[in-house]
Structure 1
Amino acid sequence: MMAQFLEIKEGYQDALLFYRMGDFYELFFDDAIAAAEALDIALTKRGKHLGEDIPMCGVPFHAAEGYLLTLIRKGFRVAVCEQMENPAEAKKRGSKSVVRRDVVRLVTPGTLTEESLLDARRHNFLAAYNVVRDEAALAWVDISTGAFRVMPCPPVRLGPELARLAPREVVLSEADYQNCAGIVTESGASPTELGRAAFDSSGAEKRLLDLYKIGSLDAFGIFSRAELGAMGAIVEYLDITQKGKLPLLRPPVKELAQGTMQIDAATRRNLELTHSLSGGREGSLLSVIDRTVTAGGGRLLERRISSPSRSLSEINARLDAVRFLAEQRQICENTREFLRNVPDIDRALSRLGLERGGPRDLGSIRNGLAAANDLADSLSQSDLPAKLAEASANLRGHGDLIELLDQALVAEPPLLSRDGGFIAPGYDEELDEARQLRDEGRGVIAAMQAQYAEHTGIGSLKVKHNNVLGYFIETTATHAEKMLNPPLSETYIHRQTTANAVRFTTVALSDMETKILNAGNRALEIEKRLYSSLTTAILDQVGAVSDTARALSEIDVATGFADLARSDNWSAPTVDDSRVFHVEGGRHPVVEAALRKTGEAFVANNCDLADGAKSADVWLLTGPNMAGKSTFLRQNALIALLAQTGSFVPAKAAHIGLVSQLFSRVGASDDLARGRSTFMVEMVETAAILNQADDRALVILDEIGRGTATYDGLSIAWATLEHLHDVNKSRALFATHYHEMTQLSDKLDGVENATIAVKEWEGEVIFLHEVRKGAADRSYGVQVAKLAGLPDSVVARANVVLEALEKGEREGSGQKAVIDDLPLFSAISEPVQTAPAGPSDLHLALNDIHPDNLKPIEALNLLYELKELSEK
């Protein structure tokens, strides 16, 4: 057995080998040590008769999926090795023969299909990247849904595209692995190296032709050598991991970079599109706007948010669908009720195609197609816009398949075919007979006994059973002569004579005995055969079923957007080919949702860019910390993104000229793993924007230059704004604390000042969160520090320093002279030996606490309270 294990393991050195032994998967040697630690299970040692103790551990076969998920999430690959025969078959080759085993599947992050291993509302992409001389391409597939796409992708775009798709695994050639593995890892995917031959375009084309059983790929489009190589590598890798059982892949669709809004990884992270900065879904844009009720709709919505369209016709078709459903509330609500009954058709189809499905997947297909048919009937009574009409047309055409599955399956099929019981009574006569024998064997024998008693005229005749004869007919010895002579002897075959009885059998009884004893297995075998035929019937119509699944997802996203628009008071944007960016009463959807939970209202604001002579291309935004500058910047970026997704937007009105690229440099974080400071990260992200943004881009920049010395930072921010205005010519929102930059509005025609309004009352600052034209005269940083909970002593000292610096600036004194004149902090913090007179809380505190025992900060707080008392 160990020789067999080692031989199989030799071919899977980079994976843990799950070696099937009866009801367990066993792991040995280093695999066992690694798995025991990762899974937190017991590690044992066996095999002293072999001369050494072999480390080993195991997991139950029936619970293997949970362990697989843990291992995959921790970066392992798992080779699943199954028994290919039963022990009886092995013994035919010799008493010491080992049961034949082989790897039936290589489980990797990008090749999961099991429902329990996947997030129902997210795609699980496997990608392949291929560079061929001066061209490169990225292909990706979700084998759990069949989606298959490819696009040209120069190396500079690899990081942003991986950020958009968020694949779990990326296949790279030996030649590209060294250059690209780091980018893949940074995106959160697992890089996998594959031989260069897998990326050869000629071999790739042949693999694709064989996969789709066609003579030419021309019907799918024209593909470059790099694109063919990337797609072929995916097919080759799937063939390796799935052991020849290729999934049901839809024909590949070629995407173009110009077809979607370009968003880099930093912008996606800063805007928290699908994940919040903490890493989870909660708090992201997607979590707030997701009103879909199907798994397929949830996946489509995430794709839309990750890849907003740049096609005006597509955007406006989506908006027309949402507008219709928002206005026709009853239709929208009825449609959502139908959709709630729709299971995950795509993933059920995929599991059936890979022979990993079960009766429940057959039930999912049946229920999903039935719900689609009912929905089509409901929508047929309405005059639908083009997008919904197209989707509705794809809901029909499955009447025969629905009827077949409805007749064949019980209402609630079990998960596994080996459990049986999923074929409905009355569907198959042979199965019904087997079940009757299995469940009612005694009744059948009793009926035969009555039949034989009537036939022979012997009322005392019995049908009995023992382990030697099986079922037999028994009469007393007094009836022996009658039974042993014609005509009864022609039917009843003598088996045994005892002192008091004579025993017989019949051909019918022998046949019935065989049927009864084998009825359970026979019933299960019949059900498995019927399961196979039903699966084939579904897969014969896989294209049409997939079209229906996509149509249901399309309708789900549209109804979800309509429901969101009605409940949250969102409006339909105007999207055209201009450069206008006009938002009236815009709001941040995530912040507004958070405030709503506390009963607070969000303060809406306008934004007006590039609207002819009325507005500038760049708004220079000043104002205090905590007043809402970053929120204002982000909300306008999200409004543009939502509009091009095909959604209504959180605003009273919006006119969005197509945005080609969306860039965001908001927030501060370091990258210690790569040796980058906060300021370095800021500069790298800013450089990417200035090097790539075009005149159709929307750029939001916050606090450029704040991570370095004041004059260095000011000069960088100043030059960055000038470059955006003069060279990139982008629409931009630029927030800064460098008030000196407000002078640029006088120098650059396309720059306009805006500020966040605040009010002061009795020394306190009140944030109004209103954006107004004009410039701020101060940042209120010290007040915000006080709100944050800095000790009063520090806040007071900061005010002293601030007043001195501002006075020096007004009087023209040099900064050094001002600092030299400032008294040191310690000058006002001499030890207090006695408490002031009077019955104050301070007096009591000083009596209770000896000055020698005070912590420095406590002493300083007391000193400042003393100072205030003496002034009063």
Structure 2
Amino acid sequence: MDAALGPPETMQDRADELTPMMSQYFELCSAYEDSLVLFQVGDFYEAFCDAAERVSRLCEITLTKREDSTGEYPMAGIPIDNAESYIETLLDAGYRVAVADQVQEPEETTGVVDRAVTRVVTPGTLTEDELLRTDDNNFVACLARSGDRFGLALLDVSTGDFYVTSTTDESAVADELGRFAPAEAVVGPDASTDPFDEDCMVTPHDRSAFEGDSPERLVESYFGGPGTVLGNAAEVLACGALLDYAEYTRGAESDDTDGERGRLDYLNHVTRYDPREYMLLDRVALESLELFERRAVHGRAGATLVEVLDETACALGARELKDWLRRPLIEREAIEARHDAVGELAGDVRTRERLHDLLRDVYDVERLISRVSRSRANARDLRSLKDTLDVVPEIEAALEDADCATLRAIRADLDALDEIRDLIGRAIRAEPPIEVTEGGVIAEGYDERLDDLRETERSGKEWIDSLEAQERERTGIDSLKVGHNSVHGYYIEVTNANLDSVPEDYTRRQTLKNSERFYTPELKSREDEIIQAEQRADDLEYDLFREVRDTVAAESERVQALADTLARLDVLVSFATVAAEYDYARPTFVDDPKRTVIEGGRHPVVERTQETFVPNDTRLDADDCFAVITGPNMSGKSTYMRQVALIQLLAQAGSFVPAADASLSLVDRVFTRVGASDDIAGGKSTFMVEMTELADILDDATDRSLILLDEVGRGTSTTDGLAIARAVTEHVHDEIGARTLFATHHHELTDAADDLDGVFNLHFRADQDGQDVIFDHEIREGPAAASYGVEVAREAGIPDAVVDRSRELLDVDGSDSAHERKVATNGHRPAATNGAAAEDGSADGDETVDADLAETIREQNLATTTPMEALALLQELQEQVEDG
């Protein structure tokens, strides 16, 4: 993003020369110099000067110009009716957008219309439905530091979800940011931006928001004394500064703030949490397990865990589902309470389907009530709230016979807000218009004053409707017409040929080419009566609507509580639907601290995206808690490890699991070192990234953790890599004691099972049929005999000449299985004569390799050689032969 967004210096120097409107524009640019100001001029939002050029380029709209007595200014405008799509483009380009609306009616002034910034649109403070994803939260974060403690606050302005935590460990901050993935952050003066990734916009904010007693006073004004909800000064700083920033972005959007930025009255509580209350999934684990985003393969992205689990019926449940997966529980009683509900719903198909159908009629009332509280909701929003409240009694009835405590508690928490439902039903018409200032919103019978005004308006229009027939009969002019337009009001139109028949009480109103338009004293009186009644009725309707909206806003806390209850129910119904339809089993939790016993486990995503899937068992316990897994590439090692982690995660989230049976102990954290990646921008190679992630695991894992390691040590030499892999195995086994699955091509690592009591071997077998490798994807005890690297290289499309030469470098014994393979001692390229291999005993056909080359070949262990390593070896040998 360009650094300077305020007015050009030349404009500041010429401030006294500018027209009032341009002066107003540049004043707003100065006040919001970190944002691109969109300035309402009629039906458009305009940008001027440098900002106009940026808007024109990014939004692909025409750059025009404005000319006045003080000069010529580049100008670019976007239509107000379609502003959100253009604002989204500007946000994607890295800009914050300050929207300056007209806050004064043109008829109220003889000079320039007043304008004020009514909202600052930023990636983390979106409230516009058009810019938000309905199935996910949109968080803005604030990181503050007090002493040695970091405070982290996270707020979804669109829903009112507000969380805060603190820690003395900056790496723990990064873990939480990875969990919540905020779109934007403000950072205190003593805190670092290092924990934030590149997808999060770090926004500068007024330093004073972090200083003095300002944060504490702001927190207290929202939630009472900070000591009652927050644990320390760092949390107070983070919450207070974040509230200040949220109010700043609100601008003067509320119609009752008189241009001053307003409070977020729908923020009723802040949730203080300890990260240790949940299974921790850092950014690396979230990405490698593909919970919410799948890494593209060959430009195509597949399904994610949340996609195969999401049978939710409403936006509330979709967001809650992601939260449950993002923060699995570690308290056994709470987990089993969820399992009780899932089990009951899975076994009662009629109730489950009834609940799903009812929940489909639930609107996103969490975001709706925030619009109500910000005075941004229209009459249709209120009707949507009523429609949701109408469903609540039916949901209560559907849960009437619930047995488990969780479903009974949900039923008890359901609040239909009867008085609010009744108020909206009486006050707001069933199908109101979107615009709330032009009438047609308030239902008949709600207010006697309004009914009288509407009756006056209606009777007046009925009189006018009958006037045409009356005047035709009175004047004898059969072509006479009574009409209306917005400029001249009501009129009686007579063609020129009939002007001689016009009565004396007609007064000319307008002359046309072929006719004249008149009014009569009685028509003028009726017109005035209608206009006055109509205007007074519209004004009264708007006042009545605001009263209703304010009454609803006062119950925002109850609406939010209802939204939370409906969201929880929706996720439980979704879990039950998946369990019933895809044969998931209820997991059981045991006291054994290292037990992971899974029978017939399946990967929840892969089994849904492949035609066939081979289930596999898993057994980890106190005696055997470290599995070394070997086998060919593509045999299923990574899928197997991930499915174990996902089964554990699903179980602790409260879901049933894709397995025949699962007996588990609780896990405090899942660590993954799976897959190769680099950080080019950060100057880190694939191996450096691997080692950094491995260091984090070794530093933070406990004996209650689950660790997945895939090919540790592959990014360096075979000797170094094997040494690292062996040392890691010993350290995890001896010092940490965590349940671990370690997939490797270092076959020497399987020897650890002989030396370390808790280490054992598993492998995926493959059979060879001629030149083809057949994978059965079934895990077995013991180490693999070979990696079949050359065969896999062939299946991947490596040219035949390279594959054939690779085979020539292997000494394959005469057995059918070809399990034991060594590099051939005669490793040079066979000589050829006239395109054919020499078959006699000449030097070309019996050339010997020098001792150094032979020794190099003998040192290779092809059982542990990957396809890429084999190609590198082949190139090295070829160069030695050619040079020799």
Please classify the TM superposition score into its range, dividing by the shorter chain length.
0.7 to 0.9
- Unpaired runs of 5+ residues, structure 2, are 1-20, 252-260, 493-502, 509-518, 838-884
Q: CA RMSD in A?
A: 3.5
Whether the 8 Å contact between 1:148 and 1:250 is mirrored in structure 2 is no
Whether the 8 Å contact between 1:629 and 1:735 is mirrored in structure 2 is yes
Whether the 8 Å contact between 1:185 and 1:191 is mirrored in structure 2 is no
Q: Does 1:43 align with 2:60?
A: no
Please give the alpha-carbon distance, in whole angstroms, between the structure 2 residues aligned to 1:717 and 1:440: 90
1:603 to 605, 611, 614: 614
AA at the equivalent of 2:273: E
Q: Does 1:147 align with 2:164?
A: no
Task: Specify whether residues 649 and 468 from structure 1 end up closer, same or farther in structure 2 by C-alpha distance, changes over 3 A only.
Answer: closer
Q: Does 1:563 align with 2:582?
A: no
CA shift, 1:656, in A, is 1.6
Equivalent residue runs for 1:648-797 within 5 Å: 648-797=656-805
CA shift, 1:316, in A, is 1.1
Alignment correspondent of 2:200: 189
What percent of counterpart residues are identical?
Answer: 38
2:95 to 45, 65, 76: 76
Please give the alpha-carbon distance, in whole angstroms, between the structure 1 residues aligned to 2:138 and 2:814: 57
Equivalent residue runs for 1:502-651 within 5 Å: 512-579=526-593, 580-595=595-610, 600-610=611-621, 612=622, 615-651=623-659
AA at the equivalent of 2:329: S
Stretch moving more, 407-416 or 307-316: 407-416
Whether the 8 Å contact between 2:186 and 2:204 is mirrored in structure 1 is yes
Task: Specify whether residues 348 and 819 from structure 1 end up closer, same or farther in structure 2 by C-alpha distance, changes over 3 A only.
Answer: same
**In structure 2, the residue corresponding to 1:308 is in which secondary structure?**
coil
Alignment correspondent of 1:126: 140
Please give the alpha-carbon distance, in whole angstroms, between the structure 1 residues aligned to 2:667 and 2:124: 32
CA shift, 1:16, in A, is 0.6
AA at the equivalent of 2:140: L
Alignment correspondent of 1:256: 274
Whether the 8 Å contact between 1:405 and 1:534 is mirrored in structure 2 is yes
Equivalent residue runs for 1:289-688 within 5 Å: 289-380=309-400, 382-418=401-437, 420-435=439-454, 441-445=460-464, 512-579=526-593, 580-595=595-610, 600-610=611-621, 612=622, 615-688=623-696
CA shift, 1:761, in A, is 2.4
CA shift, 1:565, in A, is 0.2
Task: Specify whether residues 420 and 564 from structure 1 end up closer, same or farther in structure 2 by C-alpha distance, changes over 3 A only.
Answer: farther
Please give the alpha-carbon distance, in whole angstroms, between the structure 1 residues aligned to 2:506 and 2:772: 109
- Unpaired runs of 5+ residues, structure 1, are 92-96, 473-479, 481-493, 498-502, 835-872
Q: Does 1:822 align with 2:827?
A: yes
Please give the alpha-carbon distance, in whole angstroms, between the structure 1 residues aligned to 2:212 and 2:577: 47
Please give the alpha-carbon distance, in whole angstroms, between the structure 2 residues aligned to 1:101 and 1:222: 39
Please give the alpha-carbon distance, in whole angstroms, between the structure 2 residues aligned to 1:463 and 1:774: 99
Stretch moving more, 419-428 or 14-23: 419-428
**In structure 2, the residue corresponding to 1:69 is in which secondary structure?**
helix
Please give the alpha-carbon distance, in whole angstroms, between the structure 1 residues aligned to 2:279 and 2:814: 45
Please give the alpha-carbon distance, in whole angstroms, between the structure 1 residues aligned to 2:315 and 2:290: 21
After superposition, the C-alpha distances for 1:51-86 in whole angstroms (9 at most, x for unaligned) are 4x4221000011111111221122110111111212
Q: Does 1:245 align with 2:262?
A: yes
Please give the alpha-carbon distance, in whole angstroms, between the structure 2 residues aligned to 1:576 and 1:415: 56
**In structure 1, the residue corresponding to 2:811 is in which secondary structure?**
helix
After superposition, the C-alpha distances for 1:349-386 in whole angstroms (9 at most, x for unaligned) are 01111122212211121111111222112212x13322
1:54 to 47, 68, 73: 73
CA shift, 1:448, in A, is 9.4
Please give the alpha-carbon distance, in whole angstroms, between the structure 2 residues aligned to 1:828 and 1:530: 98
CA shift, 1:833, in A, is 10
Alignment correspondent of 1:837: none
Please give the alpha-carbon distance, in whole angstroms, between the structure 2 residues aligned to 1:794 and 1:280: 29
2:180 to 158, 161, 165: 165
Task: Specify whether residues 164 and 496 from structure 1 end up closer, same or farther in structure 2 by C-alpha distance, changes over 3 A only.
Answer: closer
Please give the alpha-carbon distance, in whole angstroms, between the structure 1 residues aligned to 2:600 and 2:439: 60
Whether the 8 Å contact between 1:621 and 1:775 is mirrored in structure 2 is yes
Whether the 8 Å contact between 2:808 and 2:824 is mirrored in structure 1 is no
- Could you tell me the TM-score, scaled by structure 2's length? 0.82
CA shift, 1:553, in A, is 0.4
CA shift, 1:338, in A, is 0.5
Equivalent residue runs for 1:174-213 within 5 Å: 174-176=189-191, 179-180=192-193, 182-186=194-198, 188-200=199-211, 202-212=213-223
Task: Specify whether residues 643 and 62 from structure 1 end up closer, same or farther in structure 2 by C-alpha distance, changes over 3 A only.
Answer: same
**In structure 2, the residue corresponding to 1:357 is in which secondary structure?**
coil
Task: Specify whether residues 589 and 722 from structure 1 end up closer, same or farther in structure 2 by C-alpha distance, changes over 3 A only.
Answer: same
Alignment correspondent of 1:276: 294
AA at the equivalent of 1:353: S
Task: Specify whether residues 465 and 777 from structure 1 end up closer, same or farther in structure 2 by C-alpha distance, changes over 3 A only.
Answer: closer
Stretch moving more, 747-756 or 354-363: 354-363
Whether the 8 Å contact between 1:804 and 1:822 is mirrored in structure 2 is no
Whether the 8 Å contact between 1:372 and 1:548 is mirrored in structure 2 is no
Please give the alpha-carbon distance, in whole angstroms, between the structure 1 residues aligned to 2:639 and 2:631: 13
AA at the equivalent of 1:401: I
Please give the alpha-carbon distance, in whole angstroms, between the structure 1 residues aligned to 2:757 and 2:482: 106
Please give the alpha-carbon distance, in whole angstroms, between the structure 2 residues aligned to 1:463 and 1:63: 39
CA shift, 1:245, in A, is 2.4
After superposition, the C-alpha distances for 1:625-682 in whole angstroms (9 at most, x for unaligned) are 1100000010001111111100001111111211011001111011111111111111
Alignment correspondent of 2:809: 801
Whether the 8 Å contact between 2:375 and 2:549 is mirrored in structure 1 is no
Please give the alpha-carbon distance, in whole angstroms, between the structure 1 residues aligned to 2:759 and 2:29: 66
Whether the 8 Å contact between 1:360 and 1:416 is mirrored in structure 2 is no
AA at the equivalent of 2:363: P
Task: Specify whether residues 820 and 297 from structure 1 end up closer, same or farther in structure 2 by C-alpha distance, changes over 3 A only.
Answer: same
**In structure 1, the residue corresponding to 2:62 is in which secondary structure?**
coil
Please give the alpha-carbon distance, in whole angstroms, between the structure 2 residues aligned to 1:355 and 1:280: 43
Task: Specify whether residues 756 and 420 from structure 1 end up closer, same or farther in structure 2 by C-alpha distance, changes over 3 A only.
Answer: farther
Give 1 or 2: higher helix fraction. 1
Whether the 8 Å contact between 1:471 and 1:513 is mirrored in structure 2 is no
Whether the 8 Å contact between 1:434 and 1:515 is mirrored in structure 2 is no
CA shift, 1:167, in A, is 0.8
CA shift, 1:832, in A, is 4.5
Please give the alpha-carbon distance, in whole angstroms, between the structure 2 residues aligned to 1:463 and 1:765: 91
AA at the equivalent of 2:276: Q
**In structure 2, the residue corresponding to 1:102 is in which secondary structure?**
strand
Please give the alpha-carbon distance, in whole angstroms, between the structure 2 residues aligned to 1:570 and 1:312: 19
Stretch moving more, 238-247 or 562-571: 238-247
**In structure 1, the residue corresponding to 2:713 is in which secondary structure?**
coil
Task: Specify whether residues 197 and 576 from structure 1 end up closer, same or farther in structure 2 by C-alpha distance, changes over 3 A only.
Answer: farther
CA shift, 1:578, in A, is 3.0
CA shift, 1:426, in A, is 3.6
Whether the 8 Å contact between 2:97 and 2:121 is mirrored in structure 1 is yes
Please give the alpha-carbon distance, in whole angstroms, between the structure 1 residues aligned to 2:405 and 2:355: 17
CA shift, 1:795, in A, is 1.1
Stretch moving more, 160-169 or 36-45: 36-45
After superposition, the C-alpha distances for 1:199-239 in whole angstroms (9 at most, x for unaligned) are 24732221122234x4x3455x3420000110001111112
